[in-house]
Amino acid sequence: MSDANTNPVAAPPADATSKREREETANELEDAAPARKKFTFTPKKVPGGVVPSLIVDGARAAIEFYGKAFGATCTSAYEDDAEGSDKLHFADVVVPIGGNDFHVYIFDDFPEYNGGKPSHPGADGLNGTSCAVTLNLISAADVNTWHDRAVAAGATSLRPPADQPWGDRFAQIKDPFGHKWSICSFIEPTSSS
């Protein structure tokens, strides 16, 4: 036997006699439920271009991670409306780089749309990645800062920042969701004589 005090998301009691009483009880239970961050969704025309789309297991956590690691903000998200779902069908996340906005789309994994199979990296136990994303920064000095901030936020360093003979200061991390991110900026190429 359960009551509203021990189960704040339980259904309204069956003995609520009027529609108004049932609605009031449902509203009270909804108010008592743990709050989750609500995102707004505004359909908008997106300029032409290529936008990486990352499928993750936990889009809300991914958005929080990308905020801490790369200073990203979520500009719009479409939440799943299934009862009890915390998933996002879509989120437009913007990473600011040198005065420009770099868009990344984040999606929760919905196996029901993929023949019942998960789609995110590592879902099959191989811990793979669906794509690698490259952040081309304006200043080579920023490569260390962005790499270190991502690692502090929970990423794994795959390649620490270093000057490369092809003309980049380059680093690579793997985020907690299985995606590889290269972080680089142009430098003068070194001679390999």
Q: Give me the pLDDT at residue 152, please.
A: 98
Instruction: Provide the number of structural domains found in the chain.
Output: 1
pLDDT digits (tens, 9 = 90+) for 63-115: 999 999 999 999 988 888 888 899 998 899 999 998 888 999 898 888 887 77
CATH of the domain at 90: 3.10.180.10
Burial class (CB in 10 A: 0-12, 13-18, 19+), 131: exposed
Asked if residue 88 belongs to a domain, the reply is yes
Within-domain flag for 68: yes
What's the confidence (pLDDT) of residue 29?
Answer: 40
In a domain? residue 173: yes
Structure confidence at residue 47 (pLDDT): 56
pLDDT confidence tier of residue 169, bands split at 50, 70 and 90: very high
Q: Which domain holds residue 178?
A: 53-111+129-186
Model pLDDT for residues 171-189, shown as the tens digit of each residue: 999 999 888 899 999 987 6
Give the model's pLDDT for residue 3. 40
pTM over 0.75? The answer is no
pLDDT at 61: 95
Q: What is the pLDDT of residues 108-166, one digit of tens each?
A: 888 887 777 777 656 554 345 556 788 989 899 999 999 999 999 999 999 999 998 88
Residue 145 in domain: yes
The answer to whether residue 161 sits within a structural domain is yes
From residue 67, alpha-carbon distances to 60, 73, 149, 172 in Å are: 11, 6, 10, 18
The residue type at 66: Y
Q: What is the rounded CA–CA span in Å between residue 22 and residue 11?
A: 9
In a domain, 84, yes or no: yes
- State the pLDDT at residue 116: 79
Closest CA to 174 of 166, 165, 183: 183
On whether residue 9 sits in a domain, the answer given is no
Main-chain dihedrals φ then ψ at residue 116, nearest 5 degrees: 85, 0
pLDDT band at 6 (very low <50, low <70, confident <90, very high): very low
Tell me the per-residue pLDDT of 8-44, one tens digit each, with 9 for 90 and over.
333 334 443 445 554 554 445 444 444 556 776 666 6
pLDDT at 52: 86
In a domain, 160, yes or no: yes
Question: Do residues 70 and 49 make contact, with C-beta atoms less than 8 angstroms apart?
Answer: no
